[in-house]
Amino acid sequence: MSESWLPAFVAAARSVGLNYGFLLNAFERAAWIDGVVVSIELSALGIVSSLIVGMVIAAALTSGRPYLDRPARAFVELVRNTPTLVQIFCAFFVVNMLISQALGGPQNNPLTAYAWVVIVLSLHYGAYHAEALRAGIEAVPRAMRESAVSLGFSRREILTHVELPLAVRFAWPSLVNNMVDLVKATSLGSAIAVGEVTYASLMIWVNGDNVLELMIFILLVYAALTLLVAGLGTLVENRLRMPGYGQ
Amino acid sequence: MKAARILGALGAAVFLAGVSAAHADATLDRVKSRGTVVVGVILSGPPYGYIDPATQKQAGLNIDLADEIARRLGARLETVAVTPANRVQFLQQGKVDLLIPNMQLNPERAEIMGYVPTPYGDAGGGFITRKGSGITQWKDLKDKTVCVSQGSNYAKPLAEEYGANVKGMPSQPDSLLALKAGSCFASVHDSAGLHLLVEDNPEWKDFELPIATDLIPLPSVIWVRKGEKDIENVLDGFVQDWYRTGWLFEVTRKNRIKITPLLEEWQAKYPAAKK
């Protein structure tokens, strides 16, 4: 492996007073790179599953059936009105313990801290997506819905073929906003020892004198990830644009 | 490229200027002029630092030591609760004058901070897990999920020497909570506190410390900012005096911490003054 540039980089950084010595320690370097990979994984898993959750909740919210929209509304309010970090703690320390007890001991519980971060972020941002999508569904012109009804579309067909395709377009900028937020929220995993990049950096700087150096790296990683998500968002937005509609 | 270099050098210069300014303001002078000494302590549970449920006041060995230091300096004591993850930064940034966070001396830490050469105690890692784990020695921990505090010096030997899957939680209470919740197979923290926990607290009756030896027992010292020799010397005089007067053993026993052979060795170096 050609890693001759690493010592050169570390030496150059040292000459301007920055201590990147951890890059030369195989153990710490591997842990840090692993952290970047986990951050990317958490972001990708979180974005996909939060969108699925968001669509389900948005469908329930706009169903017009009280037994669906009331619980969905309650869920959205609960999730929006409590801090994400508290939800992660609550899931990891309380819900996880209850599940362990119900399954007859922690050894039978398959849910790891990693899984809890994905679950909590998906539900949390799913609720935000749902509100954005609801706004999109409600912005679908009444005439369009009525035409679909008169063509004999069922309720579900109207949702999947008429309302959601338009709603996603209306809601897309808000959805991208939520996704960028989700990427940043993966750093909360550090509070329950999920080895993402914030945690990996933290575990290195608590034993050294390189907070500033690692902070710079962390900021660069998150900036790159969020820019990527926002960039892909714009790409999709242009792809989805219907000529002559909404402009 | 050139611009980047200049920018980098500029940043470094500003950074270094900040550091040297901090050094010019020696801790001892500042304590005297303010009349207050700010000590970083960890409140993670008995016997080192905790909130006494009866009085709602901070108690424990580290608080007693801080109290005594303030008394001897003729200053008012102000304690700041720190965590293993942020204590070094609190010291370096001047948020505290000294640290008594039950933090052991090792070469990595000695490189970035100053310390009082005479230790006031020693501590090693104890291993707490559910009863019936089948673990009897440190090397049984291979591939087990072991929780520690972020910033714990036990993380490295556990991971590198014993191959455990180490998880750093924000603090000791979080780690113990995760152990109870079943998210960690075991937790490793200073053994004295863990022994008290299983002895005293009925909530922990299903847990035990099945490994007889402590992990890397090391001297506990008082930490100060690097290069501040004046306060180091003054505090070193205090600690030596604690041995000579027998106060240290008294306060250690009062906090139900065992007098270890190492502590007796240090005591022998500073024999009690004969009257």
In a shared domain, residues B50 and B93: yes
CA separation for the pair A106, A92 (Å, rounded): 12
3-state class (DSSP) for residue B135: coil
Residue type present at position A122 = S
Residue whose C-alpha is closest to residue B70's, from B101, B35, B104: B35
Question: Whats the size of chain B, residue-wise?
Answer: 275
Residues of chain A contacting B85 with CB distance shorter than 8 Å: 202, 206
Look at residue B200 and tell me if it is in a domain: yes
Look at residue B110 and tell me if it is in a domain: yes
Give the C-alpha distances (Å, rounded to integers) separating B153 from B19, B109, B149, B174, B252: 26, 9, 9, 17, 22
In a shared domain, residues B111 and B147: no
Residue whose C-alpha is closest to residue B82's, from B47, B39, B31, B18: B39
The verdict on a CB contact (< 8 Å) between A202 and B85 is yes
Q: Which of residues 133-172 of B touch A (CB under 8 A)?
A: 147, 150-151, 153, 155-156, 159-160, 167-170
Interface membership of A27 toward B (CB under 8 Å)? yes
Higher pLDDT among residues A52 and B182, named by residue: A52
CATH of the domain at B251: 3.40.190.10
User: How many domains in chain B?
Assistant: 2
In a shared domain, residues B168 and B51: no
User: What is the per-residue pLDDT for A153?
Assistant: 93
In a shared domain, residues B207 and B237: no
In a shared domain, residues B204 and B155: yes
In a shared domain, residues B105 and B136: no
ipTM of the complex: 0.71
In a shared domain, residues B229 and B210: no
Tokens 């999709």 belong to which residue? A236
Residues 6+ apart with CB under 8 A from B113: B88, B91, B92, B99, B223, B224, B225, B226
H or E element, residue B219:
strand B215-220
In a shared domain, residues B225 and B211: no
The nearest alpha carbon in chain B to A209 belongs to B112
Look at residue B187 and tell me if it is in a domain: yes
Look at residue B91 and tell me if it is in a domain: yes
In a shared domain, residues B184 and B66: no
Terminal-to-terminal C-alpha distance of chain A: 52
User: What is the per-residue pLDDT for B19?
Assistant: 47
Which residue in A199, A203, A211 is closest to B89 by CB distance?
A211
CA separation for the pair B110, B103 (Å, rounded): 11
* pLDDT tens per residue, range A176-188: 999 999 999 999 9
Is residue A3 predicted with pLDDT exceeding 60?
A: yes
In a shared domain, residues B182 and B238: no
User: What is the per-residue pLDDT for B242?
Assistant: 87
In a shared domain, residues B146 and B165: yes
Rounded mean pLDDT of chain B? 84
Residue B170, beta-bridge partner list: none
Interface membership of A102 toward B (CB under 8 Å)? no
User: What is the per-residue pLDDT for B4?
Assistant: 56
Tokens of B113: 């901070």
Higher pLDDT among residues A57 and A207, named by residue: A57
Percent of chain A with pLDDT over 70: 98
User: What is the per-residue pLDDT for B24?
Assistant: 42
Residue B224, beta-bridge partner list: B114
Residue type present at position A82 = T
User: B156 is in which domain, residue-wise?
Assistant: 124-217
CA separation for the pair A115, A52 (Å, rounded): 16
Percent of chain B with pLDDT over 70: 90
Look at residue B3 and tell me if it is in a domain: no
**Residue by residue, what is the 3-state secondary structure of B30-89?**
HHHHHCEEEEEECCCECCCEEECCCCCCEECHHHHHHHHHHHHHCCEEEEEECCCCCHHH
| Mean pLDDT in residue range A210-234 | 93
Look at residue B134 and tell me if it is in a domain: yes
Is residue B188 predicted with pLDDT exceeding 90?
A: yes
Look at residue B14 and tell me if it is in a domain: no
Q: What domains can be seen in chain A, in order of their start residue? A: 31-196+211-237 (1.10.3720.10)
* pLDDT tens per residue, range B242-259: 888 888 888 888 888 888
Is residue B17 predicted with pLDDT exceeding 60?
A: no
Interface membership of A22 toward B (CB under 8 Å)? no
Chain A closest-CA separation from residue B57 CA (Å): 27
* pLDDT tens per residue, range A74-91: 999 999 999 999 999 999
In a shared domain, residues B33 and B115: yes
Is residue A169 predicted with pLDDT exceeding 70?
A: yes
Residue whose C-alpha is closest to residue B218's, from B196, B190, B241: B190
* pLDDT tens per residue, range A145-160: 999 999 999 988 998 8
3-state class (DSSP) for residue B28: helix
Is residue A125 predicted with pLDDT exceeding 90?
A: yes
CA separation for the pair A95, A111 (Å, rounded): 10
